[in-house]
Amino acid sequence: MGLFDAFRKSPKERRVEEAHRRAMKEDLEVYSGMRVEVTSGDSRIFLVARLLELRGDRAQLEPGADGSLMTRSDEPMKVTLRGYSSKEGRAVSMEGTIRMGAGKLWQLENLALVDRAENRANVRIETSISGGFTVDGRPGVPEESCTVRNMGMGGVCFSAQARRDVGDKLHLRVDRLLELARMDVGKGEAQEPVDLSRLVGDALLPFEPVFFEAGLTLESHVEEGIWVRGSGVQLAQAADILLDNARKYAAPESAVSLRLERTGRWCLLRVATAGEPLTRQERQDVFKRFYRADPARAREGGCGLGLSIAQSIAAAHRGRIWAESGPAGNVFLIRLPVCPGPGEAGGR
């Protein structure tokens, strides 16, 4: 291939060739047969599979169970693969694109090695999620509370007050993960007219003493008479998530501002905080499941699910959520379509 042939290639073709050269150089074939977790761009683990026929930067995936989040009409999806190589005794992370193949197999392309580490825990996602568990075969024993510390293809690691015996079969309940799963399959709450102004005003009340104890000032302006169609429970939760996020990440002894205003056929809920501005990449990543910002910025840890839940709620209400940043700090915004309230034309 001549020099001018390289310039005639598109950026996509050059990226594919580069990925292929990296894969050949890194000799990824050693990972054929490895069991991996496949994670989508929103950090959702949606498949556990085995790598097969790994050649260069291409491979096949054999799912460990029937069912997937993709259909044959879906475009190729960028994914991350994590696994543990017993041949090397190392945790492995790779990236590539995935599409449906023949039969039950999926096709992997543009596969490239991202990281290798000695610690097997690198293939697990760190969390801090509250839940509860019961012991199988002991119907009279009440549910015990626990905290899920990390999760991966081998299961979950959680801490509880009481020690459990090796071999106990436990049933784990994690509310927030179940809630996200219900939203994913469209099983949300009933849609009805909701007085969003009143709902947001009620959401502010329990946070006022919490902000005061944290050394923060909570300022608010809520325009009255704003109605939306949806679930009052979910919308209240979205407001709580934005306020709780502000409490965690606002600069010490600063003011947090909440505003709800109507803008034409839409309404806008804004929660602004002073502090270190998020980068452009971070403004996208904060809505990914299990993503957590730099711990040094926060007053306390979280499970990395709150803003992802708020994003699902906004989408379920035909709205959107996003973040903006500037020298003064960060703003999280939710935009929703308004509807007539009771007594208005079209209202009930």
CATH number at residue 244: 3.30.565.10
CA 86/CA 123 separation, integer angstroms? 13
CA 325/CA 277 separation, integer angstroms? 5
* CA atoms within 13 A of residue 195's CA, in its CB half-sphere: 12
Among the listed ranges 74-88, 206-220, 240-254, which one has the minimum average pLDDT value? 74-88
Instruction: Tell me whether residue 185 is in a domain.
Output: no
Residues 197 and 316 in one domain: yes
Instruction: Tell me whether residue 179 is in a domain.
Output: no
CA 49/CA 67 separation, integer angstroms? 12
Please provide residue 125's backbone torsions phi and psi, each rounded to the nearest 5 degrees: -100, 125
Residues 204 and 303 in one domain: yes
CA 175/CA 153 separation, integer angstroms? 20
**How many other CB atoms are found less than 10 A from the CB of residue 2?**
7
Instruction: Tell me whether residue 182 is in a domain.
Output: no
Residues 135 and 113 in one domain: no
Confidence class for position 195, pLDDT limits 50, 70, 90:
very high
**How many other CB atoms are found less than 10 A from the CB of residue 223?**
14
| Of the candidates 239, 218, 242, 220, the residue with the CA atom closest to the CA atom of residue 228 | 239
Our CA angle for 145, 149, 150, nearest 5°, is: 130
Residues 137 and 221 in one domain: no
Rounded to the nearest 10°, the torsion over CA 74, 79, 84, 88 is 110
Residue 322, strand partner residues: 333
pLDDT at 3 over 80: no
> Would you state the pLDDT for residue 67?
45
* Polymer length of the chain: 348
> Would you state the pLDDT for residue 218?
93
How many domains does the chain fold into?
Answer: 3
Residue 99 is part of a domain; what is its CATH number? 2.30.110
Q: Do residues 18 and 10 make contact, with C-beta atoms less than 8 angstroms apart?
A: no
Q: Do residues 313 and 228 make contact, with C-beta atoms less than 8 angstroms apart?
A: no
Residues 204 and 218 in one domain: yes
Tell me the range of 154-163, 173-182, 217-226, 275-284 where mean pLDDT is highest.
217-226
Residues 118 and 141 in one domain: no
Task: Read off the pLDDT of residues 91-131 as tens digits, 9 standing for 90 and up.
Answer: 788 888 888 777 778 888 888 888 777 655 545 555 556 67
> Would you state the pLDDT for residue 115?
77
CA 141/CA 139 separation, integer angstroms? 6
> Would you state the pLDDT for residue 229?
93
Extract the tokens encoding 292. 């957590």
Instruction: Tell me whether residue 58 is in a domain.
Output: yes
Residues 250 and 155 in one domain: no
- Among 112, 144, 173, residue at a domain's last position: 173
Domain that holds residue 32: 3-122
Residues 74 and 153 in one domain: no
More confident position, 326 or 55 = 326
Residues 302 and 315 in one domain: yes
> Would you state the pLDDT for residue 16?
59
Residues 244 and 267 in one domain: yes
Instruction: Tell me whether residue 16 is in a domain.
Output: yes
Residues 209 and 108 in one domain: no
Instruction: Tell me whether residue 345 is in a domain.
Output: no
Residues 331 and 228 in one domain: yes
